[in-house]
């Protein structure tokens, strides 16, 4: 896959952008300590495997049945990426992570996995995001490529979210003193989404 490094850089930028998952990891770490933050990070990352599998099987089936329909989905995905990029650019920044009552680590992990799996927007995101980095003219199977990309996204999510969880107290206090950091992180993610969307729309 020739766009491996671009995919990794984009994935990290997306994962760093403020969102419900990393805010919950921060909240767990702040309220229950580093172990809870780390477990929550692993739980949200584990949920990505579910969305990746759905996206890989669905896109591969669509490609086999109708290459034209696949191209339509890619263009619709480009428009969707530009749209969520614009939304991120218009965002007002990071919301405050609220503390929760202490819970067993097994419960924290289970809730994090289910919270990720039950979010249909994540599946939609992977359906339109992963195909942009698939090499349709290569020798490797499309499904396998998407599963590999999903695994890479999951691994970098584990690393980034684990840093959030382990350093939750310090990060939470730092963000409260600098609320505009969230605005700039949103703008970075927004610009990334828009750039990918335009690149997809213009690509042959």
pLDDT single digits (tens) 102-158: 678 888 898 888 878 876 667 777 877 887 788 777 667 778 888 888 899 999 999
- Is pLDDT at 174 greater than 50 in this prediction? yes
Q: What is the mean pLDDT of the chain?
A: 76
Whole-model pTM above 0.75?
no
Angstrom distance (rounded) from CA 71 to CA 132: 11
- Whether 176 has a pLDDT exceeding 70, the answer reads no
H/E run at residue 161: helix 142-166
2-29 per-position pLDDT tens digit: 577 888 888 888 888 767 677 778 777 7
pLDDT at position 95 is 45
pLDDT higher than threshold 60 for residue 163: yes
The per-residue pLDDT for range 62-114, each reduced to its tens digit, is: 656 676 766 776 677 677 768 767 876 776 554 444 445 567 888 889 888 88
* Structural domain span for residue 58: 4-202
Q: How many residues does the chain have?
A: 204
Residue 133 CA to its chain's centroid (Å): 15
Distances (CA, A) of 128 to 57, 67, 82, 117, 183: 13, 15, 11, 17, 25
For residue 98, the model assigns a pLDDT of 45
Q: Taking a C-beta distance cutoff of 8 angstroms, is the pair 1, 7 a contact?
A: yes
Q: How far apart are CA 41 and CA 35, in angstroms?
A: 10
Cβ burial 61-71 (10 Å sphere, 16+ → b, else e): ebbeeeeeebe
Determine which helix (DSSP H) or strand (DSSP E) holds 41, and give its type and residue range.
helix 34-65
Please count the structural domains in the chain: 1
Res 156: pLDDT: 92
């Amino acid at each position: 896959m020739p766009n491996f490094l671009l995919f990794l850089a984009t994935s990290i930028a997306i994962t760093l952008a403020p969102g419900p998952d990393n805010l919950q990891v921060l909240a767990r770490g702040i309220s229950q300590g580093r172990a809870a933050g780390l477990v929550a990070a692993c739980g949200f990352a584990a949920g990505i495997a579910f969305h990746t599998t759905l996206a890989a099987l669905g896109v591969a089936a669509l490609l086999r049945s109708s290459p034209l329909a696949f191209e339509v989905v890619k263009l619709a995905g480009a428009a969707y990426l530009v749209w969520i990029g614009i939304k991120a650019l218009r965002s007002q920044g990071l919301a405050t992570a609220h503390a929760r009552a202490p819970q067993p680590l097994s419960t924290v992990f289970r809730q994090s996995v289910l919270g990720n799996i039950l979010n249909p927007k994540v599946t939609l995101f992977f359906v339109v995001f992963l195909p942009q980095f698939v090499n349709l003219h290569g020798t490797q199977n499309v499904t396998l490529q998407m599963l590999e990309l999903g695994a890479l996204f999951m691994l970098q999510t584990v690393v980034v979210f684990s840093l959030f969880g382990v350093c939750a107290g310090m990060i939470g206090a730092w963000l409260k003193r600098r609320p505009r950091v969230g605005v700039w992180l949103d703008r970075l993610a927004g610009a990334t989404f828009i750039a990918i969307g335009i690149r997809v729309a213009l690509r042959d």
